[in-house]
Structure 1
Amino acid sequence: MSKTFSDLGLKQPINDALIDLGYENPTLIQEKAIPQILSSDEDLKAFAQTGTGKTAAFSLPIVELANENDKNTQAIILSPTRELAVQIGKNIEDFSKYIPNLKVTTVYGGANIEQQIRQLKKGVQIVVGTPGRTVDLIRRKALKLSNTKWLVLDEADEMLNMGFKDELDQVLEATPDTKQTLLFSATFPREVEAIAKNYMHNPVEITSGQKNQGSDNVTHEFYQVTEKTRYAALKRIADVNPNIYAIVFCRTRRETQEIADKLIQDGYNADSLHGDLSQAQRDAVMDKFRKKNIQMLVATDVAARGLDVNNLTHVINHKLPDQIENYNHRSGRTGRAGNKGVSIALVNRKEKGKLHPIERTLKKKFIKTAIPTGKEICEIQLFHLIDKIHKSEVNTSEIDSFLPSIYEKLNDFSREELIQKFVSLEFNSFLSYYENAPDLNNISSRDREGGSSGRSSRENMTRFFINLGRKDKLNPPKLMGLINEQGINKNVEIGAIDILDTFSFFEIDREFESFTLEAFESNSPEFNGRRVNIEITKERKDRKRSRRRGGHSSNKGGFGRVRNQNNSSSDRRRNNNRGRKPRR
């Protein structure tokens, strides 16, 4: 017999709120974490896949144990993005609706800090915040954590991927040693393990499934494409799934907007979600997506972190991410709340090798799937139309007065002719579009992988040399953190990262080229005792020679290579010039 929330030891006001919300039975992570937190003050390290109910797992016991008569901040919950922070805060408000004196507030960048300070001064028992704004409020002495009993690090892996390590350190140092630290993460890379080791005391570890393994409710498919057919393949996947409700993940904000614009121009209910949008625009897009007014949301990884949608049919990787952990987060957006989902990867020949480390980590195989043909799409769309007609309800009271004239006009047609004409009227656009559609699975060896599209995306990025590498214990998250520390906006687009032995390369949005150079020069940063220098690199064109001298970048816990498919072979040639700076 399955357990109920009341079996876990929660008081009646919380159970009443859960009943109102339609919560019946706890998930596995909730069943394990809630009694552990209620009965023990030991630190907790919890693994749970995205979409398994982590928020309730840590927030319900805090709502249970918090003293509503004490107006000091008793719990601080850190989240990587403002969208996710807002969602957590809203959930806690729902859980505590019958505990009137228990207050929660959410603090994040982009909102009026003075208003947040006023809310904190009124007395708030639970604070949910993003790392940057939380540190800002601590520095202003508006957020006082000396009485904190619980510190929650939600999506700790993602916070580290976004370069928030220093902010996490500062928040952890501002809390008392007596607090209970609750670390929740969908994946456990080495950096997360390091936080657990440095800031937690003999933590209890619980898991829902195996670490870093994908959900059993999600199947993983890949379609082999060329750069010329990548968007066409995306369109066909949408067309062969008439009821698709999906997030399409792109690597950069520019690519996100381009793909969304193409889908909209081609008549799909689509929109984009990325860092260039204002908070009001992001909220409007997310609201439309939750209401299913948008069927396909094209998003960057960071922008989609706050989405709480249970009925996604598909996650589509227009481009694979550099980090395996990010693929796990992406695929975890579907297959939630007991539903089945499909995670799709569009890969060219060069990217296909990236699937193997994902398979090893998730312990799941990608299924190679043929790109649908025009004939298959037309057949599925035709019968989808027939099913819609079959299920449609007739409002006779509204159309009765028109029927005699309609019958008279159509009197000359037979039943078969009427059906044919109706179907043709609704379906001719599909038939016309796919009438002579080529087979996209027939990839000629002459097709250039990463052709003009790859060059186009590179043109929008500036590639920098940095005098740090593996021997300096540099890795991609630490490099991103180093970039963020120079005051460069955390939403700035960062492209390919190559970590080599004694030096490395990274790409950054060309619009921030001068700002990046000036920031590093004026700040004179150091890393592990070494002065940091960066320079703009220039590509070399000796492709044949460079192809024979391919080098490897190191990114344990991520893909074997950090570079994406757009990296030119001249980059690989540099790997053999150890310790030598690129030519200016």
Structure 2
Amino acid sequence: MTTSEIDEPGTPDAEPAGGAATFADLQINPAVLQALSEVGYESPSAIQAATIPALMAGSDVVGLAQTGTGKTAAFAVPILSKIDVASRATQALVLAPTRELALQVAEAFSRYGTHLPQITVLPIYGGSSYSVQLSGLRRGAQVVVGTPGRVIDHLERGTLDLSHLDYLVLDEADEMLQMGFAEDVERILAETPEYKQVALFSATMPPAIRKITAKYLHDAVEVAVKSKTATAENITQRYIQVAGPRKMDALTRILEVETFEAMIVFVRTKQATEEVAEKLRARGFSAAAINGDIPQGQRERTISALKDGTLDILVATDVAARGLDVDRISHVLNYDIPHDPESYVHRIGRTGRAGRSGTALLFVSPRERHLLKSIERVTRQKVTEIQLPSVEDVNAQRVAKFRDSITEALNAPGFEMFRRLIEDYEREHDVPMADIAAALALQSRDGAEFLMTEPPPEKRRERPERPDRDQRPVRRPSGSFATYRIDVGKRHKVGPGSIVGAIANEGGLHRSDFGHITIKTDFSLVELPPNLSPATLEALSRTRISGQLINLQPDRGAGHRTHGGSEGHRGDYKGDHKTAKKPKKHRKSP
């Protein structure tokens, strides 16, 4: 195995460490190159510059890199450059540990392949409709991106044909193994043709990953990216905890109190760009939206206005802002927190250009704290929490600006003419000059309130009426959980982490949906919500852990679970017991 070690540049747009200054130097398909240019990718990152040539040359590749280094494009670009769009057979399979990552990778493939005729990318994962996936597989998809459990499910059904597979990618391989998918991954690898190109990407290289690379990869080129901090040191990063309904109020306060030259406000959707920009204009701010649907001519005029100072605030999506380089941008505000750290790095890289200092602000709701922790972990930088400016702060700033405007107007052209008009009015109506000035100031407000007031407190949701005693659900020992039995246990070498990972991923559940987990010799007991939907139950009944069908069923009581022996591993996923092993949290993405 050939090994090369490269440094990841400290900023998103730094020159790559690999000898290639642009994507055009990497001999990729012109249609793919055009798509990269349109989304704003200017030069390959370190992992891309080292990996793309190797994959284009047909070599197997092992890429050791953290999330946020651009590894998705590192394997998507060469695959799309070499794929046969004339054939409807599945030629590329990407395995991802979570449905969020599977969706993110599928979206990236679609973005980079937008100019390839007849290219089809299909994500398949647990918790989504089988009918959509089945119809997509019947029509044919050259690229399939899926989670291990759902891929095995389709292989068993005979609905996924891998006999024509040319490219296989294991994305975040270490995460897949930590979630208990080791046997599933090996089973899928065994179902693929012997002669194929394999790319494995992982943040770490544990022995289990080494075993897979030795067994299934041939003369692989190993690229190790020594990741430096992913964000520039001249960018100050701060966040404010704010609930969704209060975001516009919070943004208004920041714009009034914070001293900025120009700002990009990042949102997730095209529709949100228009909505947020319109609300800002209604509040008197100079704002415009930019997204993928805006014509090129209008985009150019908007960016030109931002550069010359006639526009101060740009509300944008990630894709629309790729490659945007405007020195005036002193602030970037993440109105919607991105689901993956890579997007965060690219967003805040729009400020602090050419050695100037910049400020990055981030809105985080209480439920999004895990996304913030993921960003801090990947960038290896602490994002400092600050408090939202108070009503008093905003009003003090408004008064100061009002006074400054008076000072500026005293020296403005036409001042003497208006002074004579006011003096005439004062003599004719016997009204004090101060009253006239106040009336004119009020007139200039056009009915708008000058001082901000505290918003009304949020209404508490009324609790539904409690049902009659005979209609209430039976209370379990753990409160709102019901106990389910699965047919895997200590004999199958499973732990709480693999159980949580597989059930959460395939059933579309959240970590908070898990209670106690008791692992016996031949089976395990898992506490889950009592009202699981039929679709979730159906998906979980076919889920496998360590290659074993779990056959999830409601537990019928102690009398039905004595054959497994009394010994077992009892853990509480919420961490109330010291004996519980918490599964390693896997990353979520948009």
After TM superposition, the score normalised by the length of structure 1 is: 0.53
Partners of 2:503 and 2:520 in 1: CA distance: 18
Amino acid at match of 1:210: S
Tell me if structure 1 keeps the 8 A contact 2:110–2:121.
Answer: no
The residue identity in structure 2 corresponding to 1:62 is I
Question: Counterpart of 1:5 in structure 2: which amino acid?
Answer: F
Q: Aligned residue for 2:62?
A: 44
Q: Distance in 2 between matches of 1:230 and 1:16?
A: 39
Query: What amino acid is aligned across from residue 42 of structure 1 in structure 2?
Result: D
Give the Cα separation in 1 of the matches to 2:392 and 2:71: 43
Name the counterpart of 1:335. 345
SS where residue 433 of structure 1 aligns?
A: coil
Q: Which position in structure 2 is the counterpart of 1:27? A: 45
Deviation at 1:433, TM superposition (A): 1.1
Structure 2 equivalent of residue 6 of structure 1: 24
Deviations 1:235-264 (CA, angstroms, capped at 9, x unpaired):
8754533578567xxxxxxxxxxxxxxxxx
2:170 matches 1:153: yes
Query: What is the rounded CA distance, in whole Å, between the counterparts of 2:365 and 2:384 in structure 1?
Result: 12
- Do the aligned residues in 2 keep the contact of 1:30 with 1:53 (CA within 8 Å)? yes
2:426 pairs with 1:426: no
Shift of 1:432: 1.8
1:240 to 232, 235, 253: 253
The answer to whether structure 1 residue 126 and structure 2 residue 109 are counterparts is: no
AA of the residue aligned to 1:462 = F
Distance 1:69 1:506, change over 3 A: closer
How far apart, in 2, do the equivalents of 1:294 and 1:169 lie?
50
Letter in 2 for 1:478: S
Q: CA deviation at 1:58?
A: 1.2
The answer to whether the 8 Å contact 1:463/1:536 transfers is no
SS in structure 1 of the partner of residue 165 of structure 2? coil
Q: 2:495 and 2:402 mapped to 1: Cα distance? A: 52
Q: Which amino acid aligns with 2:382?
A: K
CA distance in 2, matches of 1:56, 1:91: 10
Does the CA-based 8 Å contact 2:340-2:375 persist in structure 1? Answer: no
User: In 1, are the aligned partners of 2:60 and 2:220 still within 8 Å (CA)?
Assistant: yes
2:193 is matched with: 176
* Paired residues for 1:159-558 under 5 Å: 168-184=185-201, 187-188=203-204, 193=209, 200-201=216-217, 203-207=220-224, 210=227, 215-216=231-232, 221=238, 237-242=250-255, 245=265, 286=269, 288-289=271-272, 313-314=333-334, 330-336=340-346, 338-339=349-350, 341-343=360-362, 363-378=380-395, 417-423=439-445, 425-427=447-449, 431-433=452-454, 461-462=480-481, 477-481=497-501, 483=503, 489-491=507-509, 494-495=512-513, 508-512=528-532, 519=553, 521=555, 551=578, 554-555=581-582
Q: Is the 8 A contact 1:335 1:342 kept in 2?
A: no
Q: Distance in 1 between matches of 2:208 and 2:269?
A: 29
Structure 1 residue matching 2:448: 3-state secondary structure: helix
Question: In 2, are the aligned partners of 1:10 and 1:61 still within 8 Å (CA)?
Answer: yes
Query: Structure 1 residues 473, 73: closer, same or farther in 2, change over 3 A?
Result: closer
Matches of 1:32 and 1:418, distance apart in 2: 66
1:88-124 per-position Cα deviation (integer Å, ceiling 9, x unaligned): 3422431x53xx4x6333143425344223312xxx5
Change (3 A) 1:362 1:335: closer
Shift in Å, 1:60: 1.6
Cα 1:535–1:24, aligned 2, differ >3 Å: closer, same or farther?
closer
**Partners of 2:239 and 2:38 in 1: CA distance:** 41
Query: Would you say the 8 A contact 2:484–2:555 is kept in 1?
Result: no
What is the CA–CA distance in structure 1 between the aligned matches of 2:75 and 2:245, rounded to whole Å?
43
Residues of 2 paired with 1:140 and 1:435: CA distance? 56
User: What residue number does 1:255 align with?
Assistant: none
C-alpha distance in 2 between matches for 1:505 and 1:234: 42
How far does the alpha carbon of each residue in 1:175-216 deviate from its partner, in whole angstroms, 9 at most, with x for none? 13432322345x5496995785586547544355528x6544
**CA drift at 1:480:** 1.1
1:241 partner SS:
helix
Q: In terms of Rg, which structure is larger?
A: 2
Encode CA deviations 1:464-500: one digit per residue, 9 max, x unaligned.
6999999997655312145469xx7334664466889
- The 1:379–1:78 alpha-carbon spacing in structure 2 relative to 1, beyond 3 Å, is farther
Are 1:78 and 2:95 counterparts?
Answer: yes
Unmatched tracts of structure 2, length 5 or more = 1-14, 256-262, 280-316, 322-331, 352-359, 405-428, 458-476, 541-550
Which of 110, 113, 124 does residue 90 from structure 1 map onto?
A: 110
1:107–1:362: structure 2 CA closer, same or farther, 3 Å change rule?
closer
Is the 1:107–1:116 Cα contact (8 Å) retained in structure 2?
no
Compare 105-114 and 287-296 and name the one that shifted more. 287-296
Quick one: distance in 2 between partners of 1:471 and 1:359? 38
Q: 1:93 to 1:173 in 2, by over 3 A?
A: same
Structure 1 residues 118 and 310: CA distance shift in structure 2, 3 A? same
**Whole-angstrom distance in 2 between the partners of 1:147 and 1:532:** 47
1 CA distance for matches of 2:495 and 2:278? 37
CA distance in 2, matches of 1:374, 1:385: 16
> Does 1:138 find its partner at 2:138?
no
Change in CA separation of 1:373 and 1:18 when aligned onto 2, cut-off 3 Å = closer
- Per-residue Cα deviation, 1:343-390 (whole angstroms, up to 9, x for no partner): 566789xx99x9999967753234353453332244568899999xxx
1:10 and 1:361 mapped to 2: Cα distance? 29
Contact (CA 8 Å) 1:68, 1:125: kept in 2 or not?
A: yes
- Go from structure 1 to structure 2 and tell me whether the alpha carbon gap of 1:164 and 1:472 turns closer, same or farther (over 3 Å shift): closer
Q: What percentage of residue pairs aligned between the two structures are identical? A: 21
Give the number of aligned pairs: 428
1:116 corresponds in structure 2 to 136
Does the 8 A contact of 2:341 with 2:378 survive in 1? Answer: no
Output the CA distance in 2 between the equivalents of 1:157 and 1:329: 20
Distance 1:192 1:215 in 2: 31
Which sits farther off after the overlay, 144-153 or 369-378? 369-378
CA distance in 1, matches of 2:245, 2:204: 36
Question: Take 1:295 and 1:171, find their aligned partners in 2: how far apart are those partners?
Answer: 50
How far does residue 145 in structure 1 lie from its aligned partner after superposition? 1.3
Inter-partner Cα distance in structure 2 for 1:357 and 1:129 = 22
CA distance in 2, matches of 1:32, 1:23: 16
Secondary structure (helix, strand or coil) at the match of 1:90 reads helix
Q: What secondary structure sits across from 1:45 in the alignment?
A: strand
CA distance in 2, matches of 1:294, 1:462: 44
Deviation, structure 1 residue 558: 5.6
Match of 2:33 among 6, 10, 15: 15
| Structure-2-length-normalised TM-score | 0.53
Structure 1 residues 292, 69: CA separation in 2 closer, same or farther (over 3 Å shift)?
Answer: same
| Cα distance in 1 for residues equivalent to 2:182 and 2:403 | 55
